[in-house]
């Protein structure tokens, strides 16, 4: 059996492989393209393609594919074999042109009006900053995806643009501090992935889980998570076997899976990787979610990535741990033992960005699935705020109030001092209720949904921080006295954005009231949130930094609304089918048994029995059920498309979804009354506690 170091990255055309297989000049040119974003000449691409093909074939690959991330939220692949006819035989070929660019049909991918559906051309362009890898006997080449007109049709392109924008503005700041060595500033990310595992046989008996990812009906189990006896408990053998294989397959693909454990809810688990550059971390998280699903099936399990697969039980998020670092290895959000004004400036820039663009951060995590989770006392509320901890807050307060900072046994800090007091890491407890928490040398964005591509939240976060740094650089570059202006700038922004800093309990009702007084937004649903995406000021920040053109922003707005409406529509059709095809016949069957039993008892001289009362309750609920079914059916007939996609999505949220909830309440009450042998679907208890070994 091979060791972890032997298998790690064994399916990746990584730097070590490139060094070993490419001529020195070719390797040097490729590294320059990767690190500096320079153009890659076709002759260099041809050499790289040949080496990549030979390496892939040696590892059993027969095909290649441009692996991209369209606006569907999942990845896409079109596979071509390496074979090329040569008379009565074939040779294996792969050119630089095939490596650098592909042309998949783009007509069936979401475009939000960027292109007509009859126009098919779309292009994939190689992203050399994310290594190629082998999956399912195919060489997978990470690519961006754009339209014939050059507009971004994917999630990767805006992310790459945002990383460039942030790097450019951060370098302006670093140069002012005398850093002439750093050539690039990168963002790093480590997404903690939560998920559920249930028995596959039970999953296949639940059409709602198959079609929508969440249970649309289901009454509470006798036991949930009240005893808090699942968190960090010993991992069951069957789940452990799944996790072991998942780790090994992730490691083969160079994905640094580090942590695994049971989460709070029964059947819920978590996997967390080590930090990587945001682009690579995003690609790796997409692969991780795919592998979770495929490997779970091999173990007789089903992996659920929906934000709220079970009502009344904690849902799943994806904590997006984000930081900034130079290409020379300096973490710009690390206070170190002697934090200085540079750290304070970057910290203040993030605080400013989150405050001024809190609505955009909320947009980045908006979805029908995440609406079930945010604000449910299991995840951050829909109110965006920043947690800093006691010491950092005290430092900022001292700056704001113009007083000397005093800390327990630490040196003093005067306003404008070049060196801040000794500031050890982890000087305060973590705040698990905060949406955006500083955790030592990074920020943890806890609002992201478990099924999300992290590209969206990160390209928005990168862009808004780039804007804050841009404004800082504009001012500081013109300063006659740099340090005096720096001190004034930090103080002004600490005061201006103090409202976004909150270290208390974000779950409390008091915070909701306090946040309103502070003027913070509380966008509770996706429908309330999405219009912020196309506010003039938000469009401006994307266009200014060349992250998204206005037409690309508006297309994404339309895609998000369309996806929301379609999600609720599919859920409504699914619950209607489940109730009509299975629940109602089950009720009839049980009612028939009760009637037979009642008749037998009456024949025996028992005029009234418990069965009479039970039958009466079930019959009354069945009548109510029919009314709710009819109302939901009719609402779908009323739901019509048109040019106003927001109005349609609002109808689905406030009419269709509400009627679904009313129907569910009746069905769940009936589940408590109908004998289990008649109920057609596995119960919550069956699913949440089915993996027993």
Q: What is the pLDDT of residues 36-46, one digit of tens each?
A: 777 788 899 99
Q: Which two tokens stand for residue 189?
A: 């990310």
Residue with tokens 């978590």: 270
Count of alpha carbons within 13 Å of 627, Cβ hemisphere only? Answer: 9
Q: What is the dihedral of CA 224, 228, 232, 234, to 10 degrees?
A: -70
Q: Give pLDDT, residue 431.
A: 73
Q: What is the rounded average pLDDT for all residues in the chain? A: 90
Distance CA 587, CA 566 (A): 30
Question: What fold, for 4-154?
Answer: Ubiquitin-like (UB roll) (3.10.20)
Distance CA 144, CA 469 (A): 27
* Strands 276-277 vs 443-445: parallel, antiparallel or unpaired: unpaired
Q: Which two tokens stand for residue 638?
A: 């009323």
Q: Give pLDDT, residue 653.
A: 96
Residue with tokens 């989770």: 373
Distance CA 261, CA 566 (A): 34
| 412: pLDDT strictly greater than 60 | no
* Range(s) within the chain of domains with CATH label 1.20.120.1560: 562-688
Distance CA 662, CA 648 (A): 20
Full DSSP string of 4-57 = HHHHTTTTB--HHHHHHHS-HHHHHHHHHHHHH-PPPPHHHHHHHHHHHHHHHH
pTM equals 0.93
Mean per-residue pLDDT for 379-406?
84
The angle at the Cα of 433, spanning 429 to 436, to the nearest 5 degrees, equals 85
Q: Which two tokens stand for residue 208?
A: 């709602």
Q: Helix, strand or coil for residue 382?
A: coil
From residue 670, alpha-carbon distances to 100, 419, 476, 590, 634 in Å are 58, 67, 67, 11, 23
Q: Give pLDDT, residue 693.
A: 64
Distance CA 683, CA 287 (A): 31
Distance CA 202, CA 199 (A): 5
* Range(s) within the chain of domains with CATH label 3.30.590.10: 162-548
Q: Helix, strand or coil for residue 340?
A: strand
Strand partners, 121: 105
Q: Give pLDDT, residue 417.
A: 41
Q: Which two tokens stand for residue 89?
A: 């035989």
* Range(s) within the chain of domains with CATH label 3.10.20.70: 4-154
Q: E-strand spans in 327-411?
A: 386-387
Count of alpha carbons within 13 Å of 625, Cβ hemisphere only? Answer: 24
* Strands 436-438 vs 443-445: parallel, antiparallel or unpaired: antiparallel
Mean per-residue pLDDT for 528-557?
97
From the list 148, 136, 45, 61, the residue with the least C-alpha distance to 104 is 148
Q: Which two tokens stand for residue 76?
A: 């896409």
Strand partners, 436: 386, 445
Q: Are 189 and 281 in contact (CB under 8 A)?
A: yes
Total count of residues recorded for the chain: 693
Q: Helix, strand or coil for residue 479?
A: coil
Mean per-residue pLDDT for 93-107?
84
- According to DSSP, residue 355 is labeled H
Distance CA 370, CA 525 (A): 9
Strand partners, 60: none
Q: E-strand spans in 213-343?
A: 257-262, 268-273, 276-277, 301-304, 318-326
Phi, psi for 131 (deg, rounded to 5):
-65, 145
Distance CA 144, CA 395 (A): 43
Q: Helix, strand or coil for residue 370?
A: helix
pLDDT tens, position by position, 442-495: 999 999 999 999 999 999 999 999 999 999 999 999 999 999 999 999 999 999
The model's confidence at residue 424, banded by pLDDT at 50, 70 and 90, is very low
CATH class belonging to 562-688: mainly alpha
Residue 143: how many CB atoms within 10 A of its CB? Answer: 27
Of the listed ranges 150-159, 265-274, 401-410, the least confidently predicted one is: 401-410
Distance CA 578, CA 681 (A): 9
Phi, psi for 484 (deg, rounded to 5):
-65, -45
Q: Give pLDDT, residue 213.
A: 97
Distance CA 275, CA 320 (A): 10
Full DSSP string of 133-150 = EEETTEEEEEEEEEETTS
Helix axes 390-401 and 341-356, enclosed angle (nearest 10): 90
- According to DSSP, residue 220 is labeled P
The model's confidence at residue 410, banded by pLDDT at 50, 70 and 90, is very low
Phi, psi for 405 (deg, rounded to 5):
-80, 130
- According to DSSP, residue 85 is labeled E
CATH class belonging to 162-548: alpha beta
Q: Give pLDDT, residue 453.
A: 96
Residue with tokens 């198959």: 210
pLDDT tens, position by position, 146-201: 887 888 889 999 999 999 999 999 999 999 999 999 999 999 999 999 999 999 99
Q: Give pLDDT, residue 623.
A: 94
* Strands 122-126 vs 138-147: parallel, antiparallel or unpaired: antiparallel
pLDDT tens, position by position, 495-542: 999 999 999 999 999 999 999 999 999 999 999 999 999 999 999 999
């Amino acid at each position: 059996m091979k060791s972890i170091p032997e298998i790690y990255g064994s399916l990746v055309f990584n730097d070590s492989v490139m060094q070993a297989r490419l001529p020195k000049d070719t390797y040097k040119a490729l590294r320059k393209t990767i690190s500096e974003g320079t153009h890659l000449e076709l002759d260099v691409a041809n050499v790289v393609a040949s080496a990549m093909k030979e390496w892939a074939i040696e590892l059993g690959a027969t095909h290649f594919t441009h692996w991209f991330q369209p606006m569907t939220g999942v990845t896409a692949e079109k596979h071509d074999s390496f074979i090329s006819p040569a008379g009565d035989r074939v040779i294996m070929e792969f050119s630089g042109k095939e490596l650098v660019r592909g042309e998949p049909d783009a007509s069936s991918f979401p475009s939000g009006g960027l292109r007509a559906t009859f126009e098919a051309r779309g292009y994939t362009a190689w992203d050399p900053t994310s290594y190629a890898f082998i999956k399912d006997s195919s060489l997978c080449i990470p690519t961006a995806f754009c339209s014939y007109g050059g507009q971004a049709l994917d999630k990767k392109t805006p992310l790459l643009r945002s990383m460039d924008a942030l790097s450019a503005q951060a370098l302006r700041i670093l140069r002012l501090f005398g850093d002439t060595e750093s050539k690039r500033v990168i963002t790093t990310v480590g997404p903690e992935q939560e998920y559920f595992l249930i028995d596959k046989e039970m999953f296949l008996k639940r059409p709602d889980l198959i079609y929508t990812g969440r249970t649309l009906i289901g009454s509470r189990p006798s036991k949930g998570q009240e005893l808090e006896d699942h968190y960090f408990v010993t991992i069951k053998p069957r789940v452990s076997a799944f996790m072991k294989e998942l780790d090994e397959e992730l490691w083969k693909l160079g994905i640094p899976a580090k942590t695994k454990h049971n989460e709070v809810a029964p059947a819920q688990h978590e996997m967390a990787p080590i930090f990587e550059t945001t682009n690579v971390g995003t690609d790796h998280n997409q692969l991780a979610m795919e592998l979770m699903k495929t490997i779970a099936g091999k173990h007789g399990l089903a992996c659920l990535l929906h934000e709220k697969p079970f009502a009344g039980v904690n849902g799943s998020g994806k904590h997006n741990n984000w930081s900034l670092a130079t290409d020379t290895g300096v973490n710009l959000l690390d206070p170190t033992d002697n934090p200085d004004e540079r750290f304070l400036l970057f910290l203040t820039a993030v605080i400013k960005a989150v405050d001024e663009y809190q609505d955009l951060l909320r947009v980045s995590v908006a979805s029908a699935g995440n609406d079930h989770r945010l604000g449910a006392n299991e995840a951050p509320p829909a109110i965006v705020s920043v947690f800093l901890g006691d010491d950092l807050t005290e430092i900022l307060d001292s700056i704001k109030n113009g007083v000397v900072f005093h800390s327990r046994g630490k040196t003093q800090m005067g306003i404008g001092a070049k060196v801040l007091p000794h500031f050890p890491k982890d000087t305060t407890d973590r705040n698990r209720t905060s949406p955006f928490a500083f955790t030592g040398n990074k920020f943890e964005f806890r609002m992201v949904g478990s099924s999300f591509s992290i590209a969206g939240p990160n390209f928005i976060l990168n862009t808004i921080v780039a804007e804050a740094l841009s404004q800082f650089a504009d001012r500081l570059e013109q300063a006659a006295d740099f340090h005096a202006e720096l001190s004034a700038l930090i103080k002004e922004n600490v005061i201006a954005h103090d409202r976004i800093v909150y270290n208390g309990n974000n779950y409390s009702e008091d915070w909701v009231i306090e946040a309103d007084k502070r003027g913070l937004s509380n966008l509770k649903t996706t429908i309330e949130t999405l219009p912020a995406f196309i506010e003039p000021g938000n469009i401006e920040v994307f266009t200014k930094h060349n992250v998204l053109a206005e037409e690309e922003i508006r297309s994404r707005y339309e895609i998000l609304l369309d996806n929301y409406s379609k999600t609720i529509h599919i859920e409504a059709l699914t619950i209607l089918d489940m109730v009509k095809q299975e629940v109602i016949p089950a009720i009839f069957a049980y009612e028939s048994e009760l009637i037979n039993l009642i008749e037998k008892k009456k024949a025996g001289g028992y005029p009234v029995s418990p069965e009479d009362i039970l039958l009466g309750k079930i019959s009354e609920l069945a009548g109510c059920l029919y009314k709710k079914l009819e109302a939901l059916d009719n609402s779908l007939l009323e739901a019509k498309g048109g040019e106003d996609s927001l109005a349609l999505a609002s109808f689905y949220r406030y009419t269709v979804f509400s009627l679904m909830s009313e129907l569910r309440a009746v069905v769940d009450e009936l589940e408590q009354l109908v004998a289990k042998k008649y109920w057609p679907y596995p119960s919550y208890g069956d699913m949440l506690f089915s993996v027993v070994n």
